[in-house]
Amino acid sequence: MIIGIIPARFASTRLMGKPLANIGGKPMIQHTYESASKSKLVEKIILAVDDSKVASVARGFGADVIETPKEIASGSDRIAYVAKTYKEADIIANIQGDEPFIYGEMIDQAIEPLLFDKNIEVTTLIKQIQSLKELRSPDIVKVVFDYDNYALYFSRSTIPYARNAISDSGALNITDYYKHIGLYVFRRKALLKFTSLKQTDLEKTEMLEQLRMLENGMKIKVVETEYDGISVDTQEDLKRARTYHKWLQKKEK
C-alpha cells in the first residue's frame, strides 16, 4: 500500500499557526491536502498534526487525521509516528504541509522508482537552478549526485564550486546546479531506520536532516522534475502564495 502523510506543525518558529494561514479563503493545509490528493499513485493521505485546532479544521474538510505528540520535533519523526499505525503501508510519501500548490505529478515522479527497483529505499526530487537568486540563497538547498542519480551531498552553499568561473553568473554557464525539493518517499523499513538514528555532525552543521541518511550509508535516489512549488516558511512566502493563488484563479476562468 502506498500512503502519503502530510506533517503539519502549528508552532512554527518563523510563521506561527501556518497550517491555518488563509490562502484564498481556505487554510493552507487544505490546499496542500487537495493538491496532494491529485496523485494517481497514493492510495491514502493522512494529516499528521500537533494541534487540536488544526485537527478540527482538517476533519472539517474531510481529511483523515492523526494527532501526534507536541514534543515530536521534526516532520520526519511525525511521519514515522503515523507510519507505525499503518503497518500495511510499504511505501510512504512525506509530503510537506507547507507546499500548498504541490503537483500530484511530482509525488508520482518520486514514487515511481520504488515501483520498478526494489533496491531503492528513499527518493527525493530535484530541479535545475536557473536563477542567480536561487543559486546564492542559503534557503535553497543544493544537491550533487553521481552518475546513477544517487545523492552525494546536500548543502546550503553553492555546490559544486566552479573553480574557473569568474562570477556566479559565469558558474551557471559552466555547470548545472540543482536545488532540492523537500518531498521524500521511503520504503517503510528505511523510514523507521532513518528516524531511529541520532543526529549527525554534518546534519547539525548544515541543519539538513537528509545528511543523517548519507552519513549513515543510506542511499537517496534523486529524481529530476520539471515542476516547482512554493514553500511557505515566512510571512513573505505567505504573501507570495496568496498572489500565486489569485493568478491561478484568473487562469482557470
82 CB-contact burial (10 Å; exposed 0-12 / middle 13-18 / buried 19+): buried
The low-confidence residues of the chain, meaning pLDDT below 50, are: none
At residue 9, the pLDDT reads 86
Split into its structural domains, the chain has a count of: 1
Q: Give me the pLDDT at residue 253, please.
A: 66
Extended beta strands in 19-111, E state: 22-23, 26-27, 44-49, 64-67, 91-94
Q: Residue 146's domain is classified under what CATH number?
A: 3.90.550.10
- Taking CA atoms, 174 is separated from 135, 160, 165, 169, in Å, by 13, 11, 7, 9
**CB within 8 Å of 131: residues ≥ 6 apart:** none
Give the pairing type, strands 220-224 and 2-8.
unpaired
Backbone angles phi, psi at 214, to 5 degrees: -65, -40
Q: What range defines the domain where residue 104 resides?
A: 2-252
**CA distances (Å), 216 to each of 45, 98, 194, 211, in order?**
29, 28, 9, 8
Helices (H) and strands (E) in the chain, counts: 10, 11
